Structure 1
Amino acid sequence: MTDEPQDAALYSEETLESGRVLFARQARFMMGAAKIEQLPPDDLPEVAFAGRSNVGKSSLINALTGHNHLARASNEPGRTREVNFFVLDEKLRLVDLPGYGWARASKTTVKSFQNLGRDYLRGRPRLKRAYLLIDARHGLKEVDNEPMDALDKAAVSYQIVLTKADKIKPHELAAVIEKTQAQIKKRPAAHPVVLATSSEKGFGIPELRAEIMTTCEVLP
């Protein structure tokens, strides 16, 4: 896997460096909300991370912030059943939404924490973007249509972020990116640029930091 992200041309060196500096600042766990009424005040710009339960949301948040244990990764899919809030430099929040596509929980439990995620998405005016994480090895699946439909319906801007991009060959990754861009082309709330990342190798992390920084309109 090459270390040169194919998205690098989208961002200037200055922007990439500003993103690095911002995400090197203090990041802390703020709280987890199990009910909509427990959500914190909507007083900072936020970006949210959504995806299937084993797609690597916690690992990506940790890679972005340079913390190994800020977001708790688990070998047990579906562990995240709250909306978890992390504050970066007291300027913006990273929000970890409950995973979906986990069949081992009861249907009642699954519906409960998935509804919490939907309520969050509908009720946060300062939510700047949702990042929908997709395993680069598999691409978009049928189970991903429901969250994309919900985001389209809520008119929440979202962007596809491919994870585990180091697990496939560069030409395979390029094909997945091209196919994914074609699949989301007609979706009204989808951002057209598909980003590829690897939390393990650091691939694409500087570009995603820059994307979040510019989307939230914050500076280090």
Structure 2
Amino acid sequence: MLVKKADFVISAVKPEQYPDDALPEIALAGRSNVGKSSLINCLLCRKNLARTSSKPGKTQTINFYRINDAFYFADVPGYGFARVPKSVKKTWGKMMETYLIGRKPLKAVIQMVDLRHPPSKDDQTMYDFLKYHQIPVWVVATKADKVPRGKWQKHLKIVKETLDMEKEDPILLFSAQTAYGKEQLWHLIVQQVANER
């Protein structure tokens, strides 16, 4: 995928702030420190379009990025960060739920998990939520460069079993450091967006 144009458009907290041009949207969801911003920057070949932070829980809004004027990435707040007050978690949860359930242009969710660890309870809840609401989901196991190549399949098996993944849902390995899995992920995105045009 040749990215000619990638712009940060808006940080939204409620539906009236979402982009209104009806372009397809691909959302990115995952735990606070799973590397969503790094994945966005890697896919778009940009260093700092999506702000990365050493402090998990930094993204508190839904951040929309318009790609090639053809579709959006919607980066939703990271979940499962212990040091965030319960009231804030509740607000994020409501905001994400409103977006994920009610958003017509949303075509798929990239659910990111850390390959190094079994998926958390929050990861399981998110996967179940997406399946329940019949939202297409692709699981992307990040930080593959931190796991020896010989152990990749073993770790992927743990991810699939812990999430109790359905066979038709794609699962990909990804590394923002080495760009491993980038082409494969772009292939899924382009296919999904093309189906909607």
> What is the SS of the residue equivalent to 1:217?
helix
Q: Report the CA distance between 1:185 and its aligned residue.
A: 5.0
**1:58 — aligned with what?**
37
Aligned partner (choices 142, 150, 169) of residue 163 of structure 1: 142
Distance 1:109 1:204, change over 3 A: same
Asked if 1:192 is matched to 2:196, the reply is no
**2:103 — aligned with what?**
124
> What is the SS of the residue equivalent to 1:71?
coil
**1:217 — aligned with what?**
194
RCO higher in structure (CA 8 A, sep ≥6): 1
Q: Report the CA distance between 1:126 and its aligned residue.
A: 2.0
Matches within 5 A, 1:1-220: 19=1, 21=2, 24-41=3-20, 43-184=22-163, 187=166, 191-217=168-194
* 1:159/1:191 contact within 8 Å kept: no
* 2:137/2:169 contact within 8 Å kept: no
AA matched with 2:176? S
1:54-83 C-alpha deviation (Å, 9 max, x unpaired)? 000000000000001110111111010100
**1:16 — aligned with what?**
none
* 1:42/1:124 contact within 8 Å kept: no
- Alignment partners' CA distance in 1, 2:98 and 2:129: 10
> What is the SS of the residue equivalent to 2:178?
coil
- Structure 1 residue runs of 5 or longer lacking an equivalent are 1-18
1:97-154 C-alpha deviation (Å, 9 max, x unpaired)? 0000011111011110121111100111221110100001013122212212221222
- Structure 2 residue runs of 5 or longer lacking an equivalent are none
Distance 1:174 1:186, change over 3 A: closer
* 1:45/1:93 contact within 8 Å kept: yes
CA-atom RMSD in angstroms: 1.6
- Alignment partners' CA distance in 2, 1:185 and 1:144: 11
- Alignment partners' CA distance in 1, 2:15 and 2:24: 18
Q: Report the CA distance between 1:210 and its aligned residue.
A: 1.3
- Alignment partners' CA distance in 2, 1:47 and 1:202: 19
- Alignment partners' CA distance in 1, 2:162 and 2:176: 24
> What is the SS of the residue equivalent to 2:99?
helix
Distance 1:113 1:185, change over 3 A: closer
> What is the SS of the residue equivalent to 1:110?
helix
Count, aligned residues? 195
- Alignment partners' CA distance in 1, 2:125 and 2:156: 20
**1:12 — aligned with what?**
none
AA matched with 2:29? A
